Every structure is written in C-alpha cells, then in structure tokens.
Amino acid sequence: MSRPKPHTVEAPPLQVDEWLNASAPIDLAGLRGKVVLLYAFQMLCPGCLAHGLPQAERVHRMFREDDVAVIGLHTVFEHHDVTGPAALRAFTQEYRWSFPIGVDRPAPDGNIPMTMRDYALGGTPSLVLLDRRGHIRLHHLGSIDDLALGSAIGRLLEEGAEIGGGAGPAASGPARMRDAARMPAWRRRPSRGSAAGPRRSAGTAPVRFRKG
Amino acid sequence: MSRPKPHTVEAPPLQVDEWLNASAPIDLAGLRGKVVLLYAFQMLCPGCLAHGLPQAERVHRMFREDDVAVIGLHTVFEHHDVTGPAALRAFTQEYRWSFPIGVDRPAPDGNIPMTMRDYALGGTPSLVLLDRRGHIRLHHLGSIDDLALGSAIGRLLEEGAEIGGGAGPAASGPARMRDAARMPAWRRRPSRGSAAGPRRSAGTAPVRFRKG
Amino acid sequence: MSRPKPHTVEAPPLQVDEWLNASAPIDLAGLRGKVVLLYAFQMLCPGCLAHGLPQAERVHRMFREDDVAVIGLHTVFEHHDVTGPAALRAFTQEYRWSFPIGVDRPAPDGNIPMTMRDYALGGTPSLVLLDRRGHIRLHHLGSIDDLALGSAIGRLLEEGAEIGGGAGPAASGPARMRDAARMPAWRRRPSRGSAAGPRRSAGTAPVRFRKG
Amino acid sequence: MSRPKPHTVEAPPLQVDEWLNASAPIDLAGLRGKVVLLYAFQMLCPGCLAHGLPQAERVHRMFREDDVAVIGLHTVFEHHDVTGPAALRAFTQEYRWSFPIGVDRPAPDGNIPMTMRDYALGGTPSLVLLDRRGHIRLHHLGSIDDLALGSAIGRLLEEGAEIGGGAGPAASGPARMRDAARMPAWRRRPSRGSAAGPRRSAGTAPVRFRKG
C-alpha cells in the first residue's frame, strides 16, 4: 500500500464523572481497535433532537459493537439550571436512547464544559470520529447526512483492518457484503421493531398515559 | 336552518397560575366568539414534540387571531422535578413556540394536575376544541392529522358564524376563499420563513453555537 | 343568520370521455348536496405525485362519501404521447389511487385540454373546491397544506348544512365530534392499513417482484 | 495486511442499447478503478420513486466522479407498452435525474430483460455494488438505508486504495476528513440548491405551468 498516511493526532481523554446507559465508566483507551463516534449534544437543543441524536442512535444500531462505539456527550453550555443529570436521565429514558451518554464535566471558570473545550467543539450538535487508533479523523458541527457519515465510518473501518484490527472483526466485513439481499449482515444490535430508529419507535407510543 | 343543535357542555375554567407567551392571564370567558384549541402536553413527551406541539404551532399561524385561539397547557404528571416552570421556559424559548402556554396547577393530592383532571384528559398530547360559545366539541388523545383537525375547526368556525360571531370575522370567511390561488387569505400571523412551521424553522438554525 | 352570502358561480361541466375507478360516468349535477374536490394532475408531474395525489387520496379516505366527493382529473398538457389513458391506467394501478379519475378531453386546437381550459387552471397540481350547490369556492394552483384544505372543506360542509343538505349527513356531523377520542367518526372509507395514506401504503410493498 | 481477500466474481456486462444522460455508451470495463453503483428500477414502480431513485441521485451528487460511478438501469418487466424509451425520457426529464440511465435490453423470449436476468435481480428497486476491480460486492433488493449504503461504499473506496487505485483519488480521501467541519470535501458535483437532493429540488418547482 503506497498511499501516504495522513498526519493525525490522538483524541483528548473524555472528562466525564457520570454515565448513563453504561455499566462502568468509559475511557477512549479502552476502545482502541474500534471506530468511535462521539456525539456532543444538549437535551434542549432542537437540532440535536431533530437530527443528531436519532443519527447517533441509528449508527449505534447499525454497526457491530466490535467495530463502532457510539458515545453521547452532554455538553451543557446554556440552560445549566434545568439540564442537569436528573433532567438528562428523564430525557434519555423518555426517548429511549440506547447508547452510552456521558455528562461533560462543568468547567470551574466558565460556561463551556471541559471535554467540549478540549475538543474545541463550536456548538451542538457536533460529532467527532476517531479511527481505530484513537486519532481524530472527522470533526463536524451541525447536520451531516447519513450517506456521508456512513461513508466516513466505512473508510475508517476498512483502513482499520490494516492498521490495528488484526484478523478480527474486519476480516469478515466486506466478504459478508455478498449476500446482503436483506439488511446488512453487520447490523448486530436488535432493532426496536422499526428500521427507522428512535423516531419511529417513539411514534409507536407517542402518547403519555396518565397513571392515576 | 332545521338541523338539530347538539347538546354540549361548557368547558371547565383553566386552572393556571403562570403563563408564557402571554402578556396577561387568559381565561376562557374572555375568548367567547372564538374557536379555542387547547393543547395539553409535557415537555419531555416524545409524541408531544414530534406531533402535538408543531401542530398547535401550525394552527396558531394558520388562522386569524379573531377566529381561533390556541392555548398550550403544560399538564405535568411525571418527571415533576425536572419539568417545572423554569425548564418549560427554556424549552419554549429553544423551540420558539409562539402561542400562549399555561402551567396547569399541580394538585395537592396527587400527580394529575387540576385542569387535566377537570377535563378528564387521558394523557399527553391531548387536544380539546371549544366552539365559539365555549362548549367542548372535540376531545382527542394522541395524534390527529391536520386534515381532520382542520375540518373540525372549519365546521366550528362556520357554525359560529350563526351562533354568536355576528357579521364580524366569519362574514369574510368563505367569500375570501374565491381567490385563494396562493396561501389562504385567512392566514394572518407572519410565518418565520418556512411554510413547514416550527420544525423547518428549527431546521434553519439547528445548531447551538457556543458563546464563550 | 345575518352574514351576507358570497356571490359565486356554478362550476362548468366536466368534459371527460373516459373514467378510471368509476362504474359509470360522473357529472357534477349528480353530486349536488356534496362538497366536491376536483384535483387536476398529470402523471409525470413531480409535484402532483409528491403532494397533490396523496392529498386527494387522504381527503377521499377521510370524509364520508355522502359529504365529500373527490375527483381526479388527468389534464395532460405536455408529454401527450406517453401519458395517454393506457399509461394512466398503469400508473393508477401501481399507486393504488382509490378515487375516480377522469381523462380531460383533448382540445382539437391546442395543448390545453378542455376542462382545464374551462376552469382556467394554470397548471398542475391544481385543486378546485365546489360547495354543495356546485359553485366554485376555492381555486388553488400548487401545494396547499392539509390544515388549510381541511378547514375550507369543513366550512363548506357546515355551510351546506343550511343551504341544501337537509337533515341528512350534515345533521350528524358536528354532534359526533363529541366522542372523537379516536380518529374522526366521519372517516368512512376503510384505510389500507396506514394512517399516512398512499405514501405509507406504497411503503409496505415498494418492491416490484419479477414474476418470471 | 494479513486479512484474507474475499472470493468474488466479475460483474456481467451491461446489455444496453440506449442511454440517457450519457454522451456515449458506458461499459463496465471502462469504469475499472471506480466503485460502481448499479441501480435497477422501473419508472412506474412506487418504491423506486419513493426510495431508490432519490438515493441513487444522492450518491451521484455526494461522491467524486473519479471515486464512484452511479448507473441507473431501466429493467422493464411489466407495463412494457407504456414505459418504453420515450416515456423514460419524459420521466427522466421531469424528475431531473442527473446520473446516466441505460435501457436494459428486452429479452426475445420473455418478460425479464437481459441484464436483469444476468444479474439475477429479483425485482425493483435493486442495487448492485461493484468494487474498483469490477467485482460484485453487494446485491440488494428493496430499500437500504443511507447509513448502510454509505458504509459499504466507504469500505470499497478504502479497499480500492490498495487494490488498484494507485496514489490517485483515494490518496486524498481519508486525509481530507480532517477538516470536514463542513460538508465532506469529497462532494464534487454541484448541488441543485438544496442539500436534500432531488426530492427537495423537485419541491422547489413542483408545479407544472401550462404554456399555452
């Protein structure tokens, strides 16, 4: 392979004290060998709810856990008083997000929380894509469509096959494309009944029934 | 007109201590002569955000203020701790809802707030449609499509022309349909730039930019 | 009722020699007492397929047959050679439109077919709404949203209750709104399984399987 | 790179006598070095119009011409009489598809046209993805979402970087991900004004104005 390697940098560590949808704290070092999608959001940001979070959920459901790790990051920089961890838990429960979500650590000296500052994120929603070595390869503020994001993930997955993946997950990747007359074989996580992801799922039970 | 009048009842009063998007408290008696759309919701209810609130916004923007009054009602019966008035204000500001929203008064003895209980609403989103006399004419839990809601409002508007509307707003209603080769002449409130209403508008600025 | 009646004109007759989805030729005189929605379209017009025809289908399914008659009108004024009656039949079968469709009579002297010319339609999609007396009340070129169209139909239905409807269908209209905690009681035609109408229905069987 | 190569076969040649949106006949041999997306459709197939063709258009607009070639294939196996080349040309013009479309050669002995038969396609829409060597790698009947298709294309693009791409187009691929804070740098073809592709573009001029 004669193609020159891009010069990239390792992603800063996540500064998170509290996790949702995770049985233990997550650190990036433990995810070496996987492509990582970091999705920064705020629970009251309309673009996050309309676009970013459903996309994160789709990626989480589409790819094998060994190939792609999706991590939500609640980077609160406005409405701090009403979007704390308790509000985030209620929000996450109502929308049934299934990927791990970390609460970005508030900075002692300002509004921008610490991981958001270290990654120089310009707002929410923002996504950061890390290759299998943990290096930053894509840094995007705002909407990105599924075709572009899928392609970027696909390239990093295939690239990873050489760099560090060994004969493991990647070995079975392209070969299994052959028989994909149904949904891709690399879809691993069980769907909640609808190919359209969280939006449709929410659609099946959009009503909150009173209990008493 | 020989058609028998339906037997209907007057709507109970709203029990609201705090209003958003309103310069003064709103009571139903003051809305006699208008068709009233009450939309009960909770800010963390996915079906409310996906369907109910955008529909309320569309109705608010579609009809003349003299003809139709839209009132949101925040009927919190779960997640009370994180969906109080401060959270509702942040939510309303972020999504730019433009219709008045009242906070349903919490009941001293239970989860169901008082207006929700008086109207026997089964959950959120729920809508209640009042005729020009303030009588309940439609009571709906969950999604209702725009064609059905539009038709119900249209019937009440036309009916109201006889009952109490006088020669005022209704007089110019159907007549002005004649030249509606463009958007209906009875649309009165200025759009925020997109025919699709709040969802599209949110789409034009979906990103939250950090300020510091 | 003191409101002045608008001055309106009777709709010109339909000039149609061939009907689809109809057991006999349809003429407007036979529809007196119903609100009539005429929807002019061309089978290769993208806006007709994206917006107009699904909306016509929704109206057809939403209202009682005694209240609202939906009529499609294939007003071919371009691509005559490939959008004749045989092509229209294949198109109608594939998209499963369920309302009657008439082929507008070609003019001997030009491109604009005869009904289209008599109604002075500016293009496709166009809709024309007739009141229960057969008078033109709404004339619209391009997209109109469901809320506006529903409201216009609702007003004409209620107005019709006085003008000519007698105690028949209209008598049961507004009264039955009371118990509409489910879909409106005046929906009469059986749905094809999805509230979203033809688009969703198409979605359930979007694939054309080869037969040989 | 130690990962075993999948065993794949070369794609059969296209049997096409007539092309739209192409200045010269296209054969697969001439596309070596590019990933090829073949999209089989019929112009009166609702699933093709709702899903397949807009997706083909999005792929065509998203990727560099040197990286990905999109080819539509009109595989008529029903409604032959009304979906011949003249009808296809009108359809293509109205929907403004910008990728090349070939008319699959009718078989002398049956309904299934010859390329469709050679590729053993089960219906429409169907897509076939070829790697840079011209081997079949994905074969899909029905809907596939953009994330899955994007990922499959991304893997083949990256894989192609080793196999046959040389230092050419692929060399600049992943490296340029670094600065993708806007839409991906590998988008090359000019958009028609809307990020949402053909559906939105159609939306900007959905009305057919009469000319005479």
pLDDT greater than 70 at residue C99: yes
pLDDT in tens, A186-203: 333 333 333 332 222 333
Instruction: Please tell me the distance in Å from C211's CA to the nearest CA on chain B.
Output: 38
pLDDT of residue D77: 96
Q: Is residue A9 part of a domain?
A: no
The whole-angstrom separation of Cα D8 and Cα C191 is 46
C-alpha distances in angstroms, A150 versus A10, A83, A156, A196, D146?
Answer: 22, 30, 10, 15, 7
Of A120-134, A157-171, B132-146, B151-165, which gets the smallest average pLDDT?
Answer: A157-171
Of A140-154, B143-157, C4-18, C110-124, which gets the smallest average pLDDT?
Answer: C4-18
Neighbours of C47 (CB within 10 A): 23
Helix axes A53-62, D146-163, angle to 10 degrees: 60
Of residues A84, A112, A209, nearest to B123 (C-beta):
A209
Copy the structure tokens of residue B52.
């109910």
Q: Is residue D62 part of a domain?
A: yes
pLDDT greater than 60 at residue B136: yes
Residue B23 dihedral angles phi and psi, to the nearest 5°: -85, -15
Listed in order, strand segments (DSSP E) in chain C are 16-20, 35-41, 68-74, 101-104, 123-124, 126-130, 136-141, 208-209
pLDDT greater than 80 at residue C156: yes
pLDDT of residue B109: 84
The whole-angstrom separation of Cα C21 and Cα D177 is 54
Helix axes B53-62, C146-163, angle to 10 degrees: 60
Q: Is residue D205 part of a domain?
A: no
pLDDT of residue B182: 28
C-alpha distances in angstroms, A91 versus A83, B42, C88?
Answer: 9, 12, 49
What lies within 8 Å, CB to CB, of D196 at 6+ separation is none
Kindly report the pTM of this predicted structure.
Answer: 0.82
Higher local confidence (pLDDT), A168 or B207: B207
Q: What is the CA radius of gyration of chain C?
A: 18
Provide the percentage of residues in chain C whose pLDDT is more than 70: 73
pLDDT of residue A142: 94
- How much is the average pLDDT of A154-182? 50
Instruction: Please tell me the distance in Å from A36's CA to the nearest CA on chain B.
Output: 22
**What is chain A's mean pLDDT, rounded?**
81
pLDDT greater than 90 at residue B106: yes
pLDDT greater than 80 at residue C185: no
Comparing C-alpha atoms, which of D67, D61, D5, D49 is closest to residue D195? Answer: D61
Domain count, chain B: 1
Contact D118, D15 (CB under 8 A): yes
Of residues C63, C150, C180, nearest to B139 (C-beta):
C180
D82-121 residues touching A, CB cutoff 8 A: none
Q: β-strands B68-74, B35-41: how paired?
A: parallel
The whole-angstrom separation of Cα A71 and Cα B179 is 54
Of residues B78, B90, B143, nearest to A208 (C-beta):
B78
- How much is the average pLDDT of D8-27? 97
Apex A31 CA angle, A26 and A35, nearest 5: 125
Q: Is residue D115 part of a domain?
A: yes
Q: Is residue D200 part of a domain?
A: no
The whole-angstrom separation of Cα D186 and Cα D170 is 10
Binary contact (A123, B46; C-beta < 8 A) = no
Residue B156 pLDDT grade (very low, low, confident, very high; cuts 50, 70, 90): very high
Long-range contacts made by residues D192-196, C-beta under 8 angstroms, separation at least 24? D192/D96, D195/A143, D195/A145
pLDDT greater than 60 at residue B177: no
Residue B6 pLDDT grade (very low, low, confident, very high; cuts 50, 70, 90): confident
Comparing C-alpha atoms, which of A59, A137, A41 is closest to residue D184? Answer: A137
pLDDT greater than 70 at residue D179: no
Q: Which sign, positive or negative, has the C-alpha torsion C162, C168, C173, C178? A: positive
The whole-angstrom separation of Cα A92 and Cα A113 is 20
Residue C88's domain comprises 16-187
User: Residue A212 class from Cβ within 10 Å (0-12 exposed, 13-18 middle, 19+ buried)?
Assistant: exposed
| Amino acid at residue number B30 | G
Of residues C94, C110, C112, nearest to D46 (C-beta):
C94
Higher local confidence (pLDDT), B177 or A139: A139
Q: Is residue A22 part of a domain?
A: yes
pLDDT greater than 70 at residue B174: no
Binary contact (C159, B158; C-beta < 8 A) = yes
Residue A65 pLDDT grade (very low, low, confident, very high; cuts 50, 70, 90): very high
Q: Is residue D76 part of a domain?
A: yes
Contact A151, A27 (CB under 8 A): no
pLDDT in tens, A72-100: 999 999 999 999 999 999 999 999 999 99
The whole-angstrom separation of Cα B122 and Cα D49 is 40
Residue D6 dihedral angles phi and psi, to the nearest 5°: -70, 150
pLDDT of residue D209: 66
**A80 has a chain B CB within 8 A of its CB:** no
DSSP state of C96: T
Of residues D146, D150, D181, nearest to A139 (C-beta):
D181
- How much is the average pLDDT of C12-38? 97
pLDDT of residue B7: 87
Binary contact (B149, C150; C-beta < 8 A) = yes
The whole-angstrom separation of Cα B27 and Cα B12 is 10
Binary contact (C154, B159; C-beta < 8 A) = no
Of B1-5, B114-118, B194-198, D80-84, which gets the smallest average pLDDT?
Answer: B194-198
Q: Is residue B198 part of a domain?
A: no
DSSP state of D52: I
**What is chain D's mean pLDDT, rounded?**
81
pLDDT of residue C6: 74
pLDDT greater than 50 at residue B23: yes
Binary contact (D3, A161; C-beta < 8 A) = yes
pLDDT greater than 70 at residue B64: yes
The whole-angstrom separation of Cα A131 and Cα C8 is 69
Q: Which sign, positive or negative, has the C-alpha torsion B78, B81, B86, B91? A: negative
Contact A162, D1 (CB under 8 A): yes
pLDDT greater than 90 at residue C15: yes
pLDDT in tens, D76-133: 999 999 999 999 999 999 999 999 999 999 999 878 999 999 999 999 999 999 999 9
pLDDT greater than 70 at residue D150: yes
Dihedral of the alpha carbons of C58, C61, C67, C73, in degrees to the nearest 10: 60
Residue A6 pLDDT grade (very low, low, confident, very high; cuts 50, 70, 90): confident
Partners of residue B94 in chain A, C-beta under 8 Å: 44-46, 79
Over the range A91-110, which residues count as b (16 or more CB within 10 Å of their CB) and which as e? bbebbebbbbbbbbbbbeee
User: Domain with D132 in it: what CATH number?
Assistant: 3.40.30.10
Q: Which sign, positive or negative, has the C-alpha torsion A93, A95, A100, A103? A: negative
Higher local confidence (pLDDT), D90 or B176: D90
pLDDT of residue C7: 86
Partners of residue A84 in chain B, C-beta under 8 Å: 82
Partners of residue A122 in chain B, C-beta under 8 Å: 209-210
